[in-house]
Structure 1
Amino acid sequence: MRSMSRRPALGLLAATALLAGAGPALAQSKLKVAAIYTVPVEQQWVSRIDKALKAAAARGEVEYVFSENVANADYERVMRQYAEGGHALIVGESFAVEAAARKVAKDYPKVAFLMGSSGKPQAPNFSVFDNYIQEPAYLSGMIAAGMSKSGKIGMVGGYPIPEVNRLMNAFIAGAREINPKTEFSISFINSWFDPPKAKEAAFAMIDKGADVMYAERFGVSDAAKERKVLAVGNVINTQSSYPDTVVASALWNMEPTIEAALKKVKAGQFAAEDYGLYSTMKHKGAELAPLGTFEAKVPADLKAKVKAREKAILDGSFAVKVDDGAPKAR
């Protein structure tokens, strides 16, 4: 069950107990958690938050309700509805509504806010997180360069903001470790969810010789499939939908972040912190997806190089640079 941004607050709250599968008496003993998404819950980034919160609900830890497709202009109103409704933890994405989200947090100091943000934590109750999955993005870049025959890779992103830039830059760095002469085409569609636009951008790059596409947005893998080139996924593993196209993916696991926040809220210890470290490979917040249908298609020497680099990342002997600057084509 989901709740839409324009439904009355009462409808949002009523949906909570149903999602958790609990009766009124049991529901009172559970932590009430709400999430606010500006895009459809199917969108890859927010789908990872939703997955982690649904897992907590399935364990009986929380009541969970969410609103999707919330316009930026409505974001503050929906936040206040949930805060007034007794939700102990509110999760969301404040990238485009930073000032409004922080204002709401100040007005409800006893509510815990955990928001995707480029900014810093705000005392006493506004914590931030982000998908710091640059490590598996680097590894997926290695695979992309090793699988490219033309030496040309296309990259389609949503917006050139730090959260996207750092993954693209890490991917580029990984590709250049395998082939320093790799050429990149880079485009941003200025939308978080516009598959047709992303698909058209990908077609343009493929027409210019790119034989591997970096699918930061939905729609890119569709273009790759139609033109029979390869794609590398981001945040989620879509290989089951594109078994002959998606060779690798950098995965984001939101569970460590959510579990850490829930533990602190339950203990009465939630404070303004940066939860970014929980998205790293060390904390199991990120990983390179299994090669799956490409296990036998990726050369053994390339797999060995990727495995060695992965081991170095995990043991701390190699660090993937966090570069939030705009990626540059070459």
Structure 2
Amino acid sequence: MFDRVIFNRRHFMASTAATSLMLGAGRAAAAEPIKTAGIYTVPVEQQWVSRIHKAAMTAQERGEIEYSFSENVSNTDYARVMREYAEAGNTLIIGEVFGAEQEAREVAADYPNVAFLMGSSFKEDAGLPNFSVFDNYIQDAAYLSGIIAGSMTATNNIGMVGGFPIPEVNRLMNAFMAGALEMNPDIEFQVSFIGSWFDPPKAKETAFAMIENGADVLYAERFGVSDAAQEKGVLAIGNVIDTQSDYPETVVASAIWNFEPTLDMAIASVQAGDFTAADYGVYSFMNQGGNELAPLGTFEGKVPANAMELVATRQAEIMSGAFTVTVNDDEPTSS
């Protein structure tokens, strides 16, 4: 039921037409804010969730939604919180169910008039028309940041610290590695996962070990990695959010996730009364405005010119469709 497939816009439009569910009929005419709840298993300051939270706050400021949220919800408690928000009259519920997939879908089945938009490693199910999925498909920007990293290492050794080896992490690491290798085929990688979405001290200690083992550039998929890089005087590449201003002498580049296109499409669907089971992952692609390479800030002019030329070429090709970054969900390994 949960086949992992590469989603495209044609599939989205086809599934929308085939499984349209009339949720919230008449809402567009009433033009009332959509009562929306966010359920997060980590603090809203955490990179990934912060992007969802930011988009929701922006939509609330526009008057499109009325937003409330719960953070630090355990996977074992996730279904209960979903039910509470559904019972409270929320029309749209957003969150991330990577550790509570089955339970979340069971709750959604009990509330067919509530639209659920959930971060998931799996795909939509036409038999559950009010449950849509998304993920941070920001492999485009991750690839470009890899090109920059490949040009900045002097030891040809890059350390990569991730949370868990699940598709949404793996694809970014693999894209980053591919970009780095295109720029510099001699690079070797150290890859490690800390088994947590939010444990900065553990990520920091893992990064320290990689630096001791020769890494002079670190891929900071988790908080804590850039702190280690800063303390040891090596470079870092950011992920999902832009931390360049926090680490002006450390973070060279960052792959940024913009959740606004994803949430805006869901809001429009609820307003129109045609929210349906679909994979919103396509709205994280660069050509949809879902990801971008952050400004280099203090590293402007410090990245080799040939690397920036390649970044510009590849970015233009990504936007035009002439070049496609491979979506590789396999677990990356050390060289």
State the TM-score, normalized to the length of structure 1: 0.91
Paired letter, 2:334: A
Find the counterpart in structure 2 of residue 16 from structure 1.
none
Find the counterpart in structure 2 of residue 157 from structure 1.
162
Q: Unpaired segments of 5 or more residues in structure 1?
A: 1-26
**Matches of 2:52 and 2:320, distance apart in 1:** 27
1:175 aligned onto 2:176: no
Find the counterpart in structure 2 of residue 193 from structure 1.
198
Find the counterpart in structure 1 of residue 260 from structure 2.
255
1:15-94 correspondence runs (5 A): 29-94=32-97
Find the counterpart in structure 1 of residue 120 from structure 2.
117
Find the counterpart in structure 1 of residue 10 from structure 2.
none
1:140 aligned onto 2:139: no
1:329 aligned onto 2:331: no
Picking from 206, 209, 214, the partner of 1:209 is 214
Paired letter, 1:158: G
**Matches of 1:28 and 1:37, distance apart in 2:** 27
SS at match of 2:63: coil
Paired letter, 2:177: I
Higher relative contact order (CA 8 A, sep 6+): 2
**Matches of 1:119 and 1:305, distance apart in 2:** 33
Find the counterpart in structure 2 of residue 316 from structure 1.
321
Paired letter, 1:286: N
Paired letter, 1:245: T
Paired letter, 1:205: M
1:102 aligned onto 2:112: no
Question: Residue deviations 1:228-271, cap 9 Å, x none?
Answer: 00000000000010000000000000000000000000110000
- Would you say how many aligned residue pairs link Structure 1 and Structure 2? 304
SS at match of 2:215: coil
SS at match of 1:32: strand
Per-residue deviation, 1:28: 9.8
Per-residue deviation, 1:118: 1.0
SS at match of 2:43: coil
Find the counterpart in structure 2 of residue 282 from structure 1.
287
**Matches of 2:165 and 2:276, distance apart in 1:** 30
Paired letter, 1:240: S
1:273 aligned onto 2:285: no
SS at match of 2:144: helix
Find the counterpart in structure 2 of residue 234 from structure 1.
239
Per-residue deviation, 1:140: 0.4
SS at match of 1:297: coil
**Matches of 1:31 and 1:324, distance apart in 2:** 34
SS at match of 2:310: helix
**Matches of 2:186 and 2:307, distance apart in 1:** 17
Question: Residue deviations 1:35-89, cap 9 Å, x none?
Answer: 0000011000000000000000011111000000001111011000000011000
Question: Residue deviations 1:277-329, cap 9 Å, x none?
Answer: 00000100011111111012112221111111111111111111010001022
Paired letter, 2:54: K
**Matches of 2:123 and 2:312, distance apart in 1:** 34
CA-based RMSD:
1.1
**Matches of 1:218 and 1:327, distance apart in 2:** 19
Give identity over the alignment, percent.
Answer: 66
Paired letter, 1:73: T
**Matches of 1:296 and 1:120, distance apart in 2:** 42
Picking from 293, 307, 315, the partner of 2:312 is 307
SS at match of 1:210: coil
Paired letter, 2:93: I
**Matches of 1:249 and 1:118, distance apart in 2:** 23
Paired letter, 1:181: D
SS at match of 1:232: strand
Runs (4 or more) in structure 1 with deviation over 3 Å come to: none
1:224 aligned onto 2:233: no
